Amino acid sequence: MEEKVDLGLRRFIKQLGYAAGGTAFLAGMAPWLTSCTPEKIEELGREKARLALIGTGGRGQYHIHNLRAIPHAELVALCDIYPKNLSDAHALCPSARTCSDYREVLDAKDIDGVIIATPLGSHARITLDALASGKHVFCEKAMALHMEECKAVYDAYKAQDKALYYCMQRMYDPKYIKAMKMIHDGAIGELVGMRCHWFRNADWRREVPSPELERLINWRLYKENSGGLMTELGCHQLEVCNWALGLTPVEISGMGDIVYWKDGREVYDSVAVNYRYSSGVKIVYESLISNKFNGMEEQILGKDGTMDLARGVYYLEEDNLLSGMRRLYDQVKDGIFASIPTAGPSWRPEVKGQYVPHPVIEGPTSINSGESMVSSDNDGSLDILSAFCQSCITGEKAENVVEEAYSSTLLCLLGNQACEEGRTLAFPDEYKIPYMKF
């Protein structure tokens, strides 16, 4: 297992860094990667990060499986208020002690860091308490349910020396890292637009053994703990758009509705939100959970090509265009035109043709279909968790991870607000931070 971890993202980082000019590239394009380089892993020896998992549902149990593959991690405690989840997690890690009050974990002297995989509504409270107790923190996205909570967490993080990670796993996915380098190097030309969507066909409900547990188990459906599609899905996709352009949008507008799943839920099952950058570039974002035909896509559109991030391929605008005269001749021959246009010296098609996909990374690539509510194989989740475990030992902060999570979470919450209020919102000045560029 140790070899698998070391030969994964870290080998890719090493190779990419050498090809792009070493640590200068990493510091400029993806500075968070400088805290998980192969050299630093080698310096750790056999020392382990002692961890506690708070929240042992589906995502928490997924983290348990990943921790088993990380040689410098030791899971010593499990915490959950729902006994069944706690029991299931303990079966996966019988050596860990269990509790139902997270403050018991925070008071423990033999724990270096905590992993928070609880419902969104509790992220900010537990994170703030954990940082105040002197623990390093790894938290699931989104950062918080309310904008003022996001700012409170950000301020607390900046005021102390503990590491804080949010599971923005695309930042640690090799195909995204390489794709961003290509985008920043001009492979698809000047960026002119972004289109992201995430479609599923499921009600998001989990089985409830007793009615009083409805809001605890199906927390994603109720506003006291969930931001719905925007925070559960959109958070990842909005982050990569900002990463590609290097800016934060200045305006947000959108529409949200409960179209199909009219079962007492409070969050939208259909959203369409637009984000406009100061340059005029826009993100067109859409998500619904009553049709899965279109799956998940994250497309960065350039004048010279399109980067399909989720699939790890790119397309060039000129790849399949015949010469203007040859194309015109073929269409005239086929009777498409009644006469030959003579208004210009040349002609070329302006609509979609047959594009050739070019791989971002040579060799097998893991593609995220967006179907799972818990995880996707080889999507960067293991590597960002491994980096956190390293930070628990070295004390290093992963540069910009908190800032990226803050920015994307704010955009999700503003998207929901725009849907609810039916108006275009400007990014509020009181939530701008120095990291953001507009």
All structural domains of the chain with their residue ranges: 2-171+378-398, 175-376+406-431
* DSSP letter, residue 96: S
The stretches of 56-122 forming alpha helices (DSSP H) are 58-67, 83-92, 102-107
Beta strands 97-99 and 73-79, pairing class: parallel
Per-residue pLDDT of the chain (438 residues; tens, 9 = 90+): 344 444 456 666 666 654 455 556 666 678 888 876 656 656 666 589 999 999 999 999 999 999 999 988 999 999 999 999 999 999 999 999 999 999 999 999 999 999 999 999 999 999 999 999 999 999 999 999 999 999 999 999 999 999 999 999 999 998 999 999 999 999 999 999 999 999 999 999 999 999 999 999 999 999 999 999 999 999 999 999 999 999 999 999 999 999 999 999 999 999 999 999 999 999 999 999 999 999 999 999 999 999 999 999 999 998 855 444 445 555 555 555 444 444 444 445 566 667 899 999 887 666 766 665 555 667 889 999 999 999 999 899 999 999 999 999 999 999 999 999 999 999 999 999 999 999
Which residue from 75, 48, 47, 40 is spatially nearest to 61, judged by alpha carbons? 75
* Structure-token pair, residue 355: 């594009």
Q: Say if CB 60 and CB 122 are below 8 A apart.
A: no
Sorted by sequence, the CB contacts under 8 Å of residue 393 that are 6+ apart come out as 44, 47, 48, 49, 72, 112
Write down the architecture of domain 2-171+378-398 according to CATH.
3-Layer(aba) Sandwich (3.40)
Cα→Cα distances 25→29, 34, 172, 307, Å:
6, 10, 15, 20
Closest CA to 231 of 417, 79, 401, 436: 417
Closest of 94, 90, 101, 18 to residue 61, by C-alpha:
90
Size of the chain in residues: 438
30 DSSP assignment: -
Give dist(CA 60, CA 50) in Å, integer.
16
Instruction: In whole angstroms, give the CA distance from residue 31 to residue 180.
Output: 13
Q: Which amino acid is at 174?
A: P
Peptide linkage before 142 cis (omega within 30 of 0): yes
Backbone angles phi, psi at 115, to 5 degrees: -110, 120
Contact (CB, 8 A) for 124 and 153: yes
Residues 6+ apart with CB under 8 A from 281: 191, 192, 193, 194, 245
CA distances (Å), 360 to each of 33, 245, 365, in order?
Answer: 19, 18, 9
Taking the alpha carbons of 241, 244, 248, 251 in that order, is the dihedral positive or negative?
Answer: negative
Residue with tokens 């210009």: 344
What distances in angstroms separate CA 438 from CA 237, 240, 260, one per listed residue? 18, 16, 37
CA 159, CA 136: separation in Å to the nearest integer? 14
Cα-only R_g, the chain: 23
How remote is the C-alpha of 303 from its chain's centroid? 25
CATH number of the domain located at residue range(s) 175-376+406-431 in this protein: 3.30.360.10
Residues with Cβ within 8 Å of 204's Cβ and at least 6 positions away in sequence, in order, are 218, 220, 221, 261, 265, 289, 373
Q: Please report the pLDDT score of residue 345 as a whole number.
A: 43
Token pair listed for 171: 């930042």
Residue 390: closest CA among 65, 138, 32, 36: 36
pLDDT score, position 11: 64
Which residue type is seen at 238?
A: L
Same fold, 2-171+378-398 and 175-376+406-431: no
Q: Cα separation of 349 and 392, whole Å?
A: 56
Full-model pTM: 0.89
What pLDDT is recorded for position 13? Answer: 65
> What tokens were used for 430?
């009181």
pLDDT at 354: 79
Q: What is residue 37's predicted lDDT score, i.e. its pLDDT? A: 63
Q: Which pair of tokens denotes residue 10?
A: 């870290």
User: pLDDT value at position 160?
Assistant: 94
Please tell me the predicted confidence (pLDDT) of residue 44.
63
State how beta strands 113-116 and 49-54 pair.
Answer: parallel
